[in-house]
Structure 1
């Protein structure tokens, strides 16, 4: 039980870190009108996680005896491999905040262009 809590807590911290980076950058660039989009993404992620947990519980909850132990062992092994791979990947990604800032700038520019186009379109309809 403790290992599941630690993994869930770690993943939650990572998600909060990314959301915090995005939100702080939006505040820094005075683009706070996109904050609701970030919040919507956070809520969508939580909902998807809960649905996935219930689905996984329904599918994997019926094992007993040696089948249960085998399933748990394989699941732990896959989890350890995924975490190790993620840690190694994160060690190589020292510039991830800069890439996030660039992607956010890109999306903001696309949204602004779409807004300007809609504004010009509305004036041409008059």
Structure 2
């Protein structure tokens, strides 16, 4: 439950910040009458995300068992790519996101003809990215953690993100967003490592990966996955009581590469404060 909550909190807060920057800039520049176009763009992005998630889930239900395992593995791999791209994208653009969005708004409204559609399309692209990222992550996490706690955690995270985004926009809440995105980024990389290991396991169950299947250790008697703490670790970090050698290697190598890259200091020319967002 905690992993979907934190990731949807982060995803929702990213989307809320983007919308808040655009809406705030329109008000500050005396163009508040364009705000309905912003809401239309958001509505279309949400609709696309929901339709995509429902279509993928409906498509998967007709697969035979091995095909479902392959589908789970592919969705998990895609979710890993999306999560990694998400944290590194925010790390890269944190300094300039406000300036870039302001320039995009000015460009969209520069011409009289089609200005509304240009603004709608700009907002749609900016928010659909976050929505589709959320869809692929939730599909992967729901398949590997099918309990009702995962959807509940995701919903609570989204509601918290909306409330926090509105409070930031209204000036009632001040967060050190630079630190928030930094440490949630590290957490997301651990979640992605668990999804990657789970995808390897799904490939084995689909009959496509049969190497490195030796069990490294078995903590079934000490910390079973079915125990309360084991369930939490499984949902958060992809914990398995008896992981195979391939799963352990994938998990460790992934973190050994991504975490140092994410935490390394940025060049001086790119340093900036996300709190400016």
Q: Determine if the TM-score, normalized by the shorter chain, exceeds 0.5.
A: yes
Moved more, 84-93 or 23-32: 84-93
Q: 1:7 to 1:66 in 2, by over 3 A?
A: farther
Residues 80-117 of structure 1 deviation map (CA, whole Å, 9 limit, x = unaligned): 122112221221112011011011122223238x8xxx
Give the C-alpha shift of residue 8 in structure 1: 4.3
Secondary structure of the 2:30 match is coil
Q: Which has the higher helix share?
A: 1
RMSD of aligned alpha carbons:
2.5
CA–CA distance in structure 1, aligned partners of residues 80 and 18 of structure 2: 22
Counterparts of 1:97-108 in structure 2 under 5 Å? 97-108=98-109
Q: 1:4 to 1:64 in 2, by over 3 A?
A: farther
Gap regions ≥5 residues in structure 1: 115-126
TM-score (norm 1): 0.73
Moved more, 95-104 or 85-94: 85-94
TM-score (norm 2): 0.36
Matched, 1:110 2:118: no
1 or 2 for the larger relative contact order (CA 8 Å, sep ≥6)?
A: 2
Matched, 1:80 2:85: no
